[in-house]
C-alpha cells in the first residue's frame, strides 16, 4: 500500500500551524487598531445640512460669537441650535427669498422646525453639560475643532470615553483662560493652563456619575 502522506505533508503542516498562530495574534491587534479609527468613532464625519449654513462666513468672516446662535452653551447642558427666527433679523427679505433659504422660509410659514442633522452625537447615557465646560475654561474648539474653518461641519473629536478621560484625568493639559471670549481659538502653554486650573478650581472629575446618571 502507498504511503499515507505526500513528502510535502510535514512542511505544509508546519506552515499551516505558523499561519494559525499568526492569525491568533493578528486578529486582536487589528480589532484594537480599528476601534480607534475614524471609521469606528465617526471622527471627521460630516453631514449635508438642509440649509447650507457656512460657519466659515459667520464665525470666521463675520466673527459672530458662537453664543449668538448656540445660546445655551454658557448656561445650559445643551448648547442648542438657533430658533428659525434668529436668521431673520440679519438676512434681508431678498436674501431670504433665495432658494438656499427654502427650508427657513417653510419653517417660518408653517412654524415647523428646521430638521438639522446632528453632527456631534453622544450616547444617550452620557450627560454632557456645555455650561460646566464653557464656564470653566474649555474652549469650544477643544472638542468641536476649528468650526470656523469648516465648510461642512464635521465631528472633530473621536468622542470615545478614553478621549473624554484624557482631560478629566488631567484638565490642566486642555483648559484655557477665557480671554478672547468663547470664540478665541488659541492653544496656550501648559504653565498658563495650570494657573487656569487653579483659577477655575477645576477638579479631576473622574467619578462615573460625572457623566453617567
> Which of 83, 100, 170, 190: binder of another protein (CB under 8 A)?
83
Ramachandran area for residue 9 (φ above 0: left; ψ -120 to 50: alpha; else beta): alpha
CB of 195 to another protein, least distance (A): 18
Residue 115 as a binder of another protein (CB under 8 A): the answer is: yes
> Which of 89, 99, 125, 191: binder of another protein (CB under 8 A)?
125
Residue 89 as a binder of another protein (CB under 8 A): the answer is: no
> Given the complex with another protein, which of 10 and 189 has the nearer CB atom?
10
Cα torsion through 148, 151, 115, 81, rounded to 10: 0
Report CA torsion sign: 50, 181, 124, 171: positive
Residue 111 as a binder of another protein (CB under 8 A): the answer is: yes
Residue 186 as a binder of another protein (CB under 8 A): the answer is: no
Residue 161 as a binder of another protein (CB under 8 A): the answer is: yes
Contact 25, 142 (CB under 8 A): no
Residue 72 as a binder of another protein (CB under 8 A): the answer is: yes
DSSP secondary structure letter of residue 124: T
Contact 38, 44 (CB under 8 A): yes
Return d(Cα 2, Cα 121) in angstroms, integer.
67
> Given the complex with another protein, which of 25 and 186 has the nearer CB atom?
25
The count of other CB atoms within 10 Å of the CB of residue 163 is 15
CA 116 from chain centre, in angstroms, equals: 16
- Secondary structure of residue 174 in the 3-state scheme: coil
Residue 81 as a binder of another protein (CB under 8 A): the answer is: yes
Residue 44 as a binder of another protein (CB under 8 A): the answer is: no
Residues in the site for another protein, rule: CB under 8 A? Answer: 4-5, 10, 13, 28, 32, 35-36, 41-42, 47, 71-72, 75-78, 80-85, 107-108, 111-118, 121, 123-125, 127, 129, 131-132, 135-136, 158, 160-162, 165, 203, 206-210, 212-213
Amino acid at each position: 500500500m502507498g504511503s499515507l502522506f505526500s513528502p510535502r505533508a510535514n512542511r505544509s503542516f508546519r506552515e499551516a500551524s505558523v499561519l494559525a498562530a499568526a492569525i491568533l495574534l493578528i486578529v486582536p491587534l487589528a480589532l484594537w487598531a480599528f476601534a480607534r479609527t475614524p471609521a469606528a468613532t465617526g471622527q471627521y464625519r460630516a453631514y449635508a445640512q438642509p440649509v447650507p449654513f457656512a460657519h466659515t462666513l459667520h464665525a470666521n468672516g463675520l466673527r459672530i460669537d458662537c453664543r449668538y446662535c448656540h445660546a445655551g452653551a454658557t448656561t445650559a447642558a445643551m448648547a442648542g441650535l438657533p430658533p428659525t427666527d434668529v436668521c431673520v433679523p440679519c438676512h434681508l427679505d431678498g436674501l431670504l427669498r433665495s432658494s438656499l433659504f427654502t427650508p427657513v422660509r417653510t419653517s417660518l410659514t408653517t412654524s415647523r422646525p428646521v430638521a438639522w442633522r446632528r453632527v456631534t452625537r453622544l450616547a444617550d447615557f452620557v450627560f454632557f453639560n456645555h455650561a460646566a465646560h464653557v464656564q470653566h475654561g474649555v474652549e469650544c474648539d477643544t472638542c468641536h475643532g476649528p468650526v470656523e474653518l469648516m465648510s461642512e461641519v464635521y465631528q472633530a473629536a473621536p468622542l470615545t470615553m478614553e478621549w473624554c478621560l484624557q482631560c478629566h484625568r488631567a484638565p490642566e493639559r486642555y483648559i484655557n483662560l477665557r480671554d478672547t471670549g468663547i470664540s478665541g481659538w488659541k492653544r496656550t502653554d501648559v504653565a498658563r493652563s495650570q494657573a487656569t486650573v487653579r483659577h477655575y478650581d477645576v477638579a479631576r472629575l473622574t467619578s462615573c456619575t460625572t457623566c453617567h446618571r
